[in-house]
Amino acid sequence: MNQKLTATLTRHDTKSITIAIESGSERVRQIVNKKLATEEIVAAAINAKAGGLSALKLYGMAGLPGEMPEDLEITAELMLQLKKAAPGLRLTLGCSTFVPKAHTPFQWYGVNPQAEKRLKLLQKRLRPKGIDFRPESYNWSIIQALISRGDRRLTPLLLQAREFGDSLGSYKRAFKTLKGKIPPLDFYVHEHWGGDQPLPWDHLRGPLPKATLLKHLDSATGHFIPEAQTPVLA
């Protein structure tokens, strides 16, 4: 994103742009194959300001595979660096929780249970510095992961949640009602699944074969996920 582009956007009444950086940590960006250098992000902020844009929104995630607590500190430091590099540019960081998706190398990873705490850490570090931090609901991310990795055994749960009102409380109430009849929430949401774990979408052909996804996973994280364990009904 150079100054010529931002100036063109400004002439067409664009006030802001959004960049999905995923993480302020270059190490984490490499893990998730986000080919974006920190220097490029800083240059984007400088060019946005120089081209006449008034705001820059960055989108990231907490709880990405391989993320360490110090990576959140690096993210916060990057936002402060951008504020210093482009004074007067309104900065926003929108941040969600990592949710595994089918047919991707990280479909075997569960939601990091520390993600909510890490979202709060970013909020504590950034809002007092005048940076607009907008976290997505961690609890609704849990429901996203449940639906993303869910199999046919969740059919009665979805029906119950719908009957109970489709709120967060509805899902909790449905799990309580069906306790012992379906795998526990942790199995679908937080557990890392092994490479031998039958996946609910194995019967669908994705853009890449499972063997290729496992190879990409190994390349990204440096190891395969251990063999899965059969979930014990609560």
- pLDDT value of position 1: 83
Using CB atoms within 10 A of its CB, is residue 158 exposed (0-12), middle (13-18) or buried (19+)? middle
pLDDT in tens, the chain (234 residues): 888 888 898 889 999 999 999 999 999 999 999 999 999 999 999 999 999 999 999 999 999 999 999 999 999 999 999 999 999 999 999 999 999 999 999 999 999 999 999 999 999 999 999 999 999 999 999 999 999 999 999 999 999 999 999 899 999 999 999 999 999 999 999 999 988 889 999 999 999 999 999 999 988 877 555 444 444 343
- Domains of the chain (ranges, CATH numbers): 3-139 (3.20.20.70)
- pLDDT value of position 62: 97
- pLDDT value of position 72: 95
CA pair distance 105, 110, nearest whole angstrom: 12
- pLDDT value of position 201: 95
CA pair distance 52, 69, nearest whole angstrom: 35
CA pair distance 96, 119, nearest whole angstrom: 8
Q: Give me the amino acid identity at 158.
A: L
In sequence order, the 6+-apart residues with CB closer than 8 A to the CB of 189 are 110, 111, 142, 145, 146, 149
CA pair distance 47, 2, nearest whole angstrom: 6
In sequence order, the 6+-apart residues with CB closer than 8 A to the CB of 33 are 216, 220
Neighbours of 207 (CB within 10 A): 8
Using alpha carbons, select from 186, 200, 232 the residue that is nearest to residue 107.
Answer: 200
- pLDDT value of position 234: 33
Show the tokens assigned to 115: 């993600």
CA pair distance 234, 219, nearest whole angstrom: 35
CA pair distance 167, 173, nearest whole angstrom: 10
